[in-house]
Structure 1
Amino acid sequence: MISTWSEWKRYPRPGRGENLEAPISPGIYEVRIAATGAVHSFGAVDNLAQALALLPLGTKSWFGRRDTSEVPDLEYRTCATSTKADARDAADRMIGRRETYISGAA
């Protein structure tokens, strides 16, 4: 069972005390750069909230801290599913549709 996509939400910036709002269930997530709409991250996962919280952002410095000054403003959305297998199937279909669209547009 696949639900619908959530609305786009601003991805919280480190150090600002903002929160992620995502289900603790299997599903698909998409993260994009707010200014351009370019896809930053996409995946089918067991736990949407955990996957979004653990996204690698910025670059690591010599001291083990992430440099978040270079991180663009990001937006995210989620689509919850019943199982990770449903999420993978839906993600594969979406990727196939995008590839078809891009190859037809070229």
Structure 2
Amino acid sequence: MVQSWSAWKRFPDAQAGGVVEAPIGPGVYEVRHTMTGRVVAFGSANNVANAISELKVNGGVSAFARLFGKQPLVSRVNDLEYRTYATASRAEAKTAARSLKSLRQSAWRRRLDHGMAARHAG
């Protein structure tokens, strides 16, 4: 069976009663900024739904928390969307995450190489 990414879904606002729609099992997740496409979280987890739910995404934290705690990913949850990639095991999730990360890095290198070549040609 060929696995693939889920469709992109809006990141839920827990304060408004939103819930994560993701596998309650192993897999890979990716969270990105809706307008820019900038990836703000990516990883593998034993329970994808919990991993996404536990991400620190709200910008409304105290100054004390900002000094000593984990920084929020973005200022507004509404600016995020996520997708998931279910796997059969945690080991498979880790392997898939490494592979997907490697593919992304290769694509960025090619894009940068093409951009540099275009600059030098012009």
TM > 0.5 between the two? Answer: yes
Distance 2:58 2:19 in 1: 18
**Higher relative contact order (CA closer than 8 Å, sequence separation 6+):** 1
1:80 corresponds to which letter in structure 2?
A
1:29 aligns with 2:34: no
RMSD (CA atoms): 2.3
1:77 maps onto 2:83 in alignment: yes
Unaligned runs of 5+ in 1: none
The sequence identity of aligned pairs, in percent, is 40
How many residue pairs get aligned? The number is: 104
Higher helix share: 2
Query: Which structure has greater strand proportion?
Result: 1
- Per-residue CA deviation, residues 36-75 of structure 1 (Å, 9 max, x unaligned), is 11101000110001101100113431576x98x9225110
Query: Do the aligned residues in 1 keep the contact of 2:13 with 2:19 (CA within 8 Å)?
Result: no
Residue 3 (structure 1) shift: 2.3
1:33–1:39 contact (8 Å) kept in structure 2: yes
